[in-house]
Amino acid sequence: MSREMLEIAAWCWAGIAIVVLPILFVKTAPYGRHTPTAPRFTLPSRIGWIVMESPSAIVFGVCMITAQRPLAIAPLVLAALWELHYLNRAFVYPFRMRGGNRPMPIYICLSAFSFTSFNGYLNGRWVADFGVNAGWASDPRFAIGVALFAIGFAVNQHADALLFRLRGRSDTGYKIPTGGLYRYVSCPNYLGEIVEWCGWALAAWSVAGLAFAVWTIANLAPRAWSHHRWYRATFPDYPAERRALVPGIY
Ligand code: NDP
């Protein structure tokens, strides 16, 4: 894809996310606690996560390896952050999660596979071949973006780790999460993920990065709302002051 085509594709990608956002408030993606009771055509969720998330790491990595220009420090840092997140998500997270044999609908896995392949290509190709170069590493937007990514990553990791502790090895039940940012919101892992990708988009200063940040909000803001409603309906003693995603606000 040429630079112009890639930019047009990224704007369209962001536009689709904006259309999808309100739809996901009405139709929650059916995995995890929102899986239908007797789903057809499933695979174990642990395998599903590996299949869904590995294209992000692989496609982005291939773009970097086949880059058509010498790579400066800023693109290398952006690639390192991306790979940190996705190597963890695809190859470490699935083995840390508890209850990984819970069935996941295959179509969810395949649609996420297409999503992460395309998103990995848009962002990887931009960073490798067209995006920021040498001088950008000293721009404040780069430093602030990297710092936001680091904060978001830490919040996401910590919040997911607190969830894992709620279960035994092959347990699939749910408890009220406590500790860390769970004091304030039902889904601090989603909040961390959103901060991460907004930070990465700022550091990358690209339409492709922006489109992925918008997609992350479109996927996770409605899902946080669904989780929050589910917690309230399931646990009569669920903390009333806890919000869904943003402390004190939403
Ligand atoms: P959830 O918070 O729904 O679940 C995370 C893990 O914790 C799952 O294994 C889940 O089990 C378990 N869990 C959740 N709540 C409880 C509880 N109350 N008691 C016991 N166990 C619990 O996150 P998702 O599965 O939706 O997402 C996983 C990660 O992927 C998150 O870090 C998220 O930020 C990221 N993500 C990113 C997206 C993006 O667009 N960038 C899109 C979707 C996810 P179970 O599966 O059985 O419910």
Question: Quick check: CB of 33 below 6 Å from ligand 1?
Answer: yes
Task: Report whether pLDDT(100) > 80.
Answer: no
Question: Quick check: CB of 172 below 6 Å from ligand 1?
Answer: yes
Rounded CA-CA distance 82/123 in Å is: 10
pTM for the complete prediction? 0.95
Condensed to tens digits (0 to 9), the pLDDT of residues 211-227 reads 999 999 999 999 999 99
Task: Report whether pLDDT(102) > 90.
Answer: no
Banded model confidence at residue 99, pLDDT cuts 50, 70, 90: confident
* Closest C-alpha residue for ligand 1 atom 42: 219
**From ligand 1's centre to the CA of 4, what distance in Å?**
36
**Mean pLDDT score across all residues of the chain:** 95
DSSP per-residue codes, 6-67: HHHHHHHHHHHHHHHHHHHHHS--SSGGGS-SS-SSEEEHHHHHHHHHHHHHHHHHHHHHT-
Question: Quick check: CB of 242 below 6 Å from ligand 1?
Answer: no
Question: Quick check: CB of 75 below 6 Å from ligand 1?
Answer: no
Pairs from 223-232 (Cβ < 8 Å, separation ≥ 24) = 223/24, 223/28, 223/29, 223/187, 223/190, 224/185, 224/186, 224/187, 224/190, 224/191, 225/25, 226/28, 226/34, 227/33, 227/186, 227/187, 228/186, 228/187, 230/33, 230/34, 231/176, 231/186
Ligand 1 pocket mutation, candidates 190, 191, 216, criterion most atoms within 8 A of CB: 190
Condensed to tens digits (0 to 9), the pLDDT of residues 146-165 reads 999 999 999 999 999 999 99
Q: Left (φ > 0), alpha (ψ -120 to 50) or beta: where does 99 sit?
A: left
**Which residues have C-beta within 8 Å of that of residue 192, sequence separation ≥ 6?**
151, 152, 153, 154, 155, 156, 157, 158, 159
Give the position, in ligand 1's atom list, of the atom nearest the Cα of 99.
47
**From ligand 1's centre to the CA of 58, what distance in Å?**
22
Task: Please state the rounded mean pLDDT for residues 200-219.
Answer: 98
